[in-house]
């Protein structure tokens, strides 16, 4: 497949050495996977992770620091790995297989359950886990470690690649920081301090951490006194206060490409695959259906989850099932009415779809309330329902398809098609946010660099060549479109809501009378 | 139903078709010989560099044309018969029209150099040129060296392209400094240095004498006029400007000069025949513009304008303030209003020039030294807002106003360093010393 392509993109000798170093690191992990019992696990683990990092670092330095600062996209569509060539498929299959094993068959990674000691790959990570939290490693610890290493090493690569672009650098340092601190280290330390507390990644919020409102989780928090209560409250405040404010001021990028772990991996390790996302209109249509369906699903599921363990009797606790359902429906109605009132005109035809979505949710909630029992909702066992949702969010999409398919569908397919959080933030970004990508008058030459490198599959050029700002709910504000534009046409900005959406037919630079005639009608 | 036929599916022809469709229900046919669908010529370089594939340079998906009832016909037009209102196509067919628009763009200049038609010698304008380049310079083994003749915007793009595949490049530039017929000296010199930093063998004040053939009719080397030096090479890129692609029109009754002659309504001497884009030549230049403007934006603006005329609202082509942009390897360039080079500027035009110490950023502001009116700005390595400069030019702001408000015009990404304070203090210091 790659034979027909120009071979002028050979890598240098130094890069070959770097690759070899990284592969030795991976090889150690592979040996462990196949149950090689290393004598001094701490040393071998350090070697493996060290070699992988060092390999990546040397490779990136040679790739970028030997050249002048600037856009470094030469050959991305020639290289097999980044153009759905043989290597792309190989990596895709390996990653997907890894995810399937990780989620569904962790015993093949060597997980020891019920007090049995770990073997294989997981046991290799025991020393690190012991060091951090004094317990033996789990498959999630292994995954978390590899995930963090990937974000750090490839984040370094990304920073070098964009060393002329401070927005890219700061943003990358931010995701590296949040991954290492909030997703990886702090939860481990929290466990040390209080080992009854459920896992809590402070930066992760509903609907991503769907499990936080599950019975065991809430009970876990509540039985931990003030810390637990504070964490639950913090969770609620992030959803209802902090997130809306930040999204209003900065767009959803504050989360998606500055904080989020999935986003962090996509932007760093996934950077080489961003051009693979489909920019077709049909893909956009699919995206809108999928993501909103997911949103409906997660609202209903979360409500159902809380619902199943609430009581009927207000003497036990003021929040009964009836009150809860009423609250949820009331809140949703408020949001829906608000949007209709303030933005109904702007949305035009889409109001119809919004209304359908709204009534579907309400109907589902009512049906649930009328038919639900302590054990069953929608006639399905409550527990089963929860695990369906968990599997969906946690594994099938964000892991298997989201990351496993990086080399095939691009690095943000989860963020684009499946993430309920992205749907909520996007909804707000589209309607109530100061964020937009400003188009610079008439300067666009329709070259397509922006669309090509948009990981969310937004056809940025479609707007830019009309002189129109880009206001799209899916834009995660990565800023790469603006970086690669050879004519300085795009700028990510937070500015006033007025004039944010500015469709034009005749662009700036032409006859002013003609512009008035055509654009003002 | 009136049938509008457009020759050429470049930016000008396609913009016109789109706008006619918005305004009317007329039958529209675009005839073009180069490619099935509209693609962005300005993006050709990125295909060779591997940033994009050809399909990514197509601004509209393939279903777009049918949906908007714009008929596409892939064919070369051989002849225009304005009496019977028909086009004769190279494939033998013919096509009749009610209104005809010529939007055939440009072709690379060839100045009669010996050997200019050898194998391995090519321009860089059409899709076919790119395919040619892929054949003769797929990598640095097949092409040990390439020589580029002509230091303009396309020449430097070709140099960047070849550089991306590590093909050594010798770049012959007739002028004493890169593009200094257009750029002021300070800017031109920054680009000279930047080109050399990319390990491109830049030869200034150097002309091509001849291209030498090997025994198979393929280029073997070139000889330099001034020194007689022979440079072995496998590819020669001719990028010494472009001229209107109108040879097939010369035999018709349509008046041509260098391009198809048009009035301010973009009408030719023949009723119902119009010309837009690179191939159109104004009888008289508009303001400081040239009679033929081979830039993307002009094609687009002419398309926007002519659609009105064709749909019954006859209006003149009346472009607003001049703007343009380009990229020289890693350095972006934008211009708003008029900044002329030392070679071509008028007496009243004075320049303020600021250069960053890293040698990749600078600005030149032109103003009228008698009235202090702001005339235009060139910026390198700093992005500026089109809208703001357009406004300032309309409001006829003076140079002091512009220098003091420069920060409003900044369009660099967030968190970038700002240079306005430094620029302003340099400006104020220079004024005091004058
Ligand atoms: C490499 C390169 C980079 C450029 N970069 C920039 C830039 O950055 N900024 C900028 O402003 N401008 C740039 N330009 C110039 C810009 O591309 C042109 O000004 C613009 O494309 C002209 O558009 P057009 O529609 O007039 O003609 P074209 O795009 O040339 O389209 C004319 C079409 O008509 C076809 N045609 C010609 N004769 C016939 C015939 N007899 N029968 C059928 N079909 C015919 C041609 O094959 C061609 O497809 C660049 C040009 C090149 C080559
Ligand atoms: S539109 Fe630009 S900033 Fe937004 S996601 Fe796409 S590339 Fe990133
Ligand atoms: S916005 Fe920039 S990158 Fe996108 S098509 Fe226009 S010129 Fe190209």
What residue ranges do the domains of chain B occupy?
3-107+243-310, 121-240, 323-433
Report the atom number in ligand 3 closest to the C-alpha of B43: 8
User: Are A509 and B297 a contacting pair at CB < 8 A?
Assistant: yes
Q: Looking at the predicted structure, is the pLDDT value of residue A442 above 70?
A: yes
Q: What is the mean pLDDT of residues A466-486?
A: 97
Report the atom number in ligand 2 closest to the C-alpha of A477: 3
* Number of H-type helices and E-type strands within chain B: 11, 25
User: Are B305 and A443 a contacting pair at CB < 8 A?
Assistant: no
Q: Which CATH class is domain B121-240?
A: alpha beta
The Cα of B81 is separated from the nearest Cα of chain A by a number of Å equal to 33
- Ligand 3 centroid–CA B378 distance in Å is 20
Q: Looking at the predicted structure, is the pLDDT value of residue A8 above 60?
A: no
- Which of the pair, A344 or A453, is modelled with greater confidence? A453
**Taking Cα atoms as reference points, which of A49, A53, A52 lies closest to residue A23?**
A52
pTM of the entire predicted model: 0.94
Nearest CA in chain A to B417: A166
Report the atom number in ligand 3 closest to the C-alpha of A465: 6
* Number of H-type helices and E-type strands within chain A: 24, 4
Give the tens place of pLDDT for each residue, B220-270.
999 999 999 999 999 999 999 999 999 999 999 999 999 999 999 999 999
To test the ligand 1 pocket, which listed residue (B18, B41, B266, B325) has its Cβ within 8 A of the most ligand atoms? B41
Q: Which of A196-210, B118-132, B268-282 has the lowest mean pLDDT?
A: A196-210
Q: What is the mean pLDDT of chain B?
A: 97
pLDDT at A157: 98
Enumerate residues 6+ apart whose C-beta is below 8 A from B253: B82, B83, B269, B270
Enumerate residues 6+ apart whose C-beta is below 8 A from A156: A56, A57, A60
CB of B289 less than 8 A from some CB of A: no
Q: Looking at the predicted structure, is the pLDDT value of residue A263 above 80?
A: yes
Residues A179 and A198 sit within 8 Å (Cβ to Cβ): no
pLDDT at A304: 80
d(CA B143, CA B162): 10
Q: What is the mean pLDDT of residues B5-34?
A: 97
Confidence grade of residue A4 (pLDDT, cut at 50, 70, 90): very low
pLDDT at A3: 40
Q: Which of B165, B198, B319 sits opposite A68 (nearest CB)?
A: B198
Enumerate residues 6+ apart whose C-beta is below 8 A from A36: none
Q: Number of A:B CB contacts under 8 A?
A: 180
pLDDT at A2: 38
pLDDT at A314: 66
Phi and psi (nearest 5°) for B290?
-90, 155
User: Are B323 and A509 a contacting pair at CB < 8 A?
Assistant: yes
Give the H/E segment covering residue B354: strand B349-355
User: Are B390 and A509 a contacting pair at CB < 8 A?
Assistant: yes
Could you check whether B3-107+243-310 and B121-240 share the same CATH topology?
Answer: yes
Q: Which of A60-64, A305-309, B312-316 has the lowest mean pLDDT?
A: A305-309
CB of B320 less than 8 A from some CB of A: yes
pLDDT at A173: 98
Q: Which of B43, B317, B334 sits opposite A448 (nearest CB)?
A: B43
* CATH tag, B323-433: 3.30.390.30
> Which residue of A448, A452, A489 to mutate against B (max B Cβ within 10 Å)?
A448
Confidence grade of residue A104 (pLDDT, cut at 50, 70, 90): confident
Q: Looking at the predicted structure, is the pLDDT value of residue B281 above 60?
A: yes
Q: What is the mean pLDDT of chain A?
A: 88
**Topology given in CATH for the domain delimited by B3-107+243-310:** FAD/NAD(P)-binding domain (3.50.50)
Phi and psi (nearest 5°) for B220?
-120, -35
Place of tokens 């790995």: A81
Q: What is the mean pLDDT of residues B320-328?
A: 97
Q: Which of A448, A465, A483 sits opposite B56 (nearest CB)?
A: A448
Going edge to edge, which strands form the sheet with B86-89? B77-81, B86-89, B94-96
Q: What is the mean pLDDT of residues B25-34?
A: 97
To test the ligand 2 pocket, which listed residue (A413, A435, A481) has its Cβ within 8 A of the most ligand atoms? A481
Enumerate residues 6+ apart whose C-beta is below 8 A from B302: B12, B15, B16, B266, B276, B277, B280, B317
Q: Please list every residue in chain B whose beta carbon sits closer than 8 Å to the beta carbon of residue A280.
A: 61
Report the atom number in ligand 1 closest to the C-alpha of A447: 8
For residue A266 and ligand 2, the question of a CB distance below 6 A is answered with: no
Q: Which one of 2.60.40, 1.10.260, 3.30.70, 3.40.50 gives the CATH number of domain A434-519?
A: 3.30.70
Give the tens place of pLDDT for each residue, A303-319.
887 787 777 766 667 77
For residue B337 and ligand 1, the question of a CB distance below 6 A is answered with: no
Give the tens place of pLDDT for each residue, A120-133.
999 999 999 999 98
A287: buried, middle or exposed (CB in 10 Å: 19+, 13-18, 0-12)? buried
**Beta strands B208-213 and B70-74, pairing class:** unpaired
| Chain B, window 71-130: residues with a beta carbon less than 8 angstroms from a chain A beta carbon | none
User: Are A449 and B46 a contacting pair at CB < 8 A?
Assistant: yes
Q: Looking at the predicted structure, is the pLDDT value of residue A256 above 90?
A: yes
Residues A428 and A335 sit within 8 Å (Cβ to Cβ): no
Which amino acid residue places its CA nearest to atom 7 of ligand 2? A454
Q: Domain map of chain A by residue range? A: 1-67+105-194, 434-519
ipTM of the complex: 0.96
Q: Which of A107-116, A179-188, A371-380, B169-178 has the lowest mean pLDDT?
A: A371-380
**Taking Cα atoms as reference points, which of B402, B358, B356, B401 lies closest to residue B377?**
B402
**Helix, strand or coil, per DSSP, at residue B30:** strand
- Which of the pair, A112 or A163, is modelled with greater confidence? A163
d(CA B9, CA B11): 7
Q: Looking at the predicted structure, is the pLDDT value of residue B390 above 90?
A: yes
User: Are A514 and B308 a contacting pair at CB < 8 A?
Assistant: yes
pLDDT at A395: 62
- Which of the pair, A470 or A228, is modelled with greater confidence? A470
For residue A449 and ligand 3, the question of a CB distance below 6 A is answered with: yes
A196: buried, middle or exposed (CB in 10 Å: 19+, 13-18, 0-12)? exposed
DSSP code per residue over B145-193 = -EEEE--SHHHHHHHHHHHHTT--EEEE-SSSSTTTTTS-HHHHHHHHH
A193: left (phi over 0), alpha (psi -120 to 50) or beta: alpha
Which amino acid residue places its CA nearest to atom 49 of ligand 1? B34
Q: Which of A94-108, A423-437, B15-29, B162-176 has the lowest mean pLDDT?
A: A94-108
pLDDT at A397: 64
pLDDT at A396: 64
Nearest CA in chain B to A519: B304
Q: Looking at the predicted structure, is the pLDDT value of residue B155 above 70?
A: yes
Q: Which of A131-135, A214-218, B22-26 has the lowest mean pLDDT?
A: A214-218
The number of CA neighbours under 13 Å toward the Cβ of B221 is 7
pLDDT at A220: 76
């Amino acid at each position: 497949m790659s034979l027909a392509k120009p071979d002028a993109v050979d890598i240098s000798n130094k890069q070959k050495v770097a690759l070899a170093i990284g592969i030795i690191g991976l090889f150690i992990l592979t040996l462990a996977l196949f149950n090689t019992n290393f004598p001094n696990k701490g040393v071998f683990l350090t070697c493996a992770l060290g070699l992988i990092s060092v390999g990546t670092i040397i490779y990136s330095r040679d790739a970028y620091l030997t050249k002048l600062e600037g856009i470094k996209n030469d050959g991305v569509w020639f290289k097999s790995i980044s153009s759905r060539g043989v290597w792309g498929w190989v990596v895709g299959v390996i990653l997907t297989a890894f995810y399937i094993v990780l989620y569904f068959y962790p015993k093949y990674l060597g997980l020891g359950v019920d007090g049995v000691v770990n073997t294989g790959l997981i046991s290799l990570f025991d020393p690190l886990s012991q060091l951090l939290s004094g317990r033996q490693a789990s498959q999630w610890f292994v995954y978390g470690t590899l995930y963090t290493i990937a974000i750090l090493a490839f984040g370094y690569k990304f920073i070098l690649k964009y060393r002329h672009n401070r927005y890219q650098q700061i943003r990358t340092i931010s995701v590296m920081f949040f991954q290492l601190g909030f997703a990886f280290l702090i939860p481990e330390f929290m466990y040390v301090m209080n080992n009854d507390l459920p896992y809590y990644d402070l930066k992760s919020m509903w609907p991503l951490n769907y499990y936080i409102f599950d019975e065991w989780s809430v009970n876990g928090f509540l039985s931990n006194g003030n810390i637990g209560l504070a964490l639950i409250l913090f969770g609620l405040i992030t959803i209802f206060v902090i997130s809306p404010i930040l999204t209003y001021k900065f767009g959803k990028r504050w989360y998606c490409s500055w904080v989020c772990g999935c986003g962090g991996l996509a932007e760093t390790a996934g950077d080489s695959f961003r051009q693979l996302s489909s920019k077709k209109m049909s893909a956009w249509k699919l995206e809108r259906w999928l993501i909103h369906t997911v949103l409906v699903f997660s609202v209903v599921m979360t409500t159902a989850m809380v619902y199943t363990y609430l009581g009927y009797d207000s003497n036990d606790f003021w929040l009964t099932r009836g009150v809860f359902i009423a609250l949820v429906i009331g809140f949703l109605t408020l949001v829906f009415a608000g949007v209709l009132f303030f933005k109904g005109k702007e949305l035009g035809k889409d109001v119809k779809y919004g209304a359908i979505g709204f009534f579907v949710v309400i109907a589902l909630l009512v049906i649930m309330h009328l038919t639900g029992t302590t054990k069953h909702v929608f006639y399905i066992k409550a527990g089963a329902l929860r695990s369906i949702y968990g599997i969906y969010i946690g594994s099938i999409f964000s892991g298997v398809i989201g990351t496993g398919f990086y080399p095939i569908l691009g690095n943000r397919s989860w963020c684009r098609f499946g993430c309920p959080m992205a749907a909520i933030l996007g909804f707000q970004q589209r309607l109530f946010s100061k964020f937009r990508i400003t188009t610079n008058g008439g300067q666009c030459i329709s070259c397509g660099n922006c669309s090509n490198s948009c990981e969310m599959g937004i056809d940025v050029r479609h707007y830019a060549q009309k002189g129109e700002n880009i206001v799209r709910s899916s834009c995660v504000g990565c800023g790469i479109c603006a970086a690669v534009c050879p004519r300085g046409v795009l700028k990510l900005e937070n500015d006033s809501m007025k004039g944010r959406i500015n469709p034009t037919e005749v662009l700036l630079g032409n006859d002013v009378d003609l512009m008035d005639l055509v654009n003002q009608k | 139903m009136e049938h509008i036929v457009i020759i050429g599916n470049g930016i000008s022809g396609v913009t016109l078709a789109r706008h006619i469709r918005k305004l009317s229900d007329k039958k529209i046919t675009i005839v073009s010989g180069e490619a099935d669908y509209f693609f962005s010529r300005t993006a050709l370089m990125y295909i060779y560099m591997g940033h994009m594939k050809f399909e990514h340079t197509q601004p509209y998906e393939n279903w777009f044309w049918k949906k908007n009832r714009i008929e596409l016909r892939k064919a070369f037009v051989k002849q225009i018969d304005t009496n019977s209102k028909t086009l004769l196509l190279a494939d033998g067919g013919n096509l009749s029209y009610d209104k005809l628009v010529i939007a055939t763009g440009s072709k690379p200049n060839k100045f009669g150099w010996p050997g200019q038609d050898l194998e391995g010698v090519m321009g860089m304008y059409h899709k076919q040129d790119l395919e040619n380049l892929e054949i003769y310079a797929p990598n640095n083994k097949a092409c040990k060296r390439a020589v580029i003749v002509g230091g303009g915007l396309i020449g430097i793009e070709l140099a960047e392209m070849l550089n991306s595949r590590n093909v050594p490049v010798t770049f012959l530039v007739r002028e004493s400094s890169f593009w200094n017929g257009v750029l002021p000296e300070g800017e031109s010199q920054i680009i000279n240095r930047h080109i050399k930093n990319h390990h491109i063998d830049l030869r200034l004040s150097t002309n091509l004498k001849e291209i030498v053939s090997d025994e198979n009719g393929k280029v073997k080397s070139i000889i330099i006029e001034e020194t007689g030096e022979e440079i072995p090479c496998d590819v020669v890129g001719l990028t010494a400007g472009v001229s209107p692609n109108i040879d097939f029109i010369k035999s018709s009754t349509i008046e041509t000069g260098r391009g198809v002659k048009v009035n301010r309504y973009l009408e030719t001497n023949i009723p119902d025949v119009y010309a837009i884009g690179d191939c159109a030549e104004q009888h008289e230049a508009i303001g400081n513009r040239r009679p033929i403007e081979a830039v993307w934006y002009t094609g687009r603006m002419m398309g926007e304008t002519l659609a009105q005329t064709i749909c019954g609202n006859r209006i003149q082509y009346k472009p607003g303030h001049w703007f343009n942009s380009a990229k020289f390897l890693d350095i972006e360039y934008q211009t708003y209003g008029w900044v002329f080079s030392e070679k071509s500027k008028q007496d009243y035009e004075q320049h303020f020039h600021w250069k960053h110490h890293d040698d990749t950023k600078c600005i030149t502001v032109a103003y009228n030294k008698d009235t202090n009116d702001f005339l235009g700005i060139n910026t390198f390595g700093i992005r500026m807002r089109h809208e703001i400069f357009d406004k300032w030019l309309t409001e006829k702001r003076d140079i002091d106003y512009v220098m003091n408000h420069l920060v409003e015009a900044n369009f660099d990404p967030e968190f970038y360093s700002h240079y306005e304070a430094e620029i302003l203090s340099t400006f104020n210091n220079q004024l005091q010393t004058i």
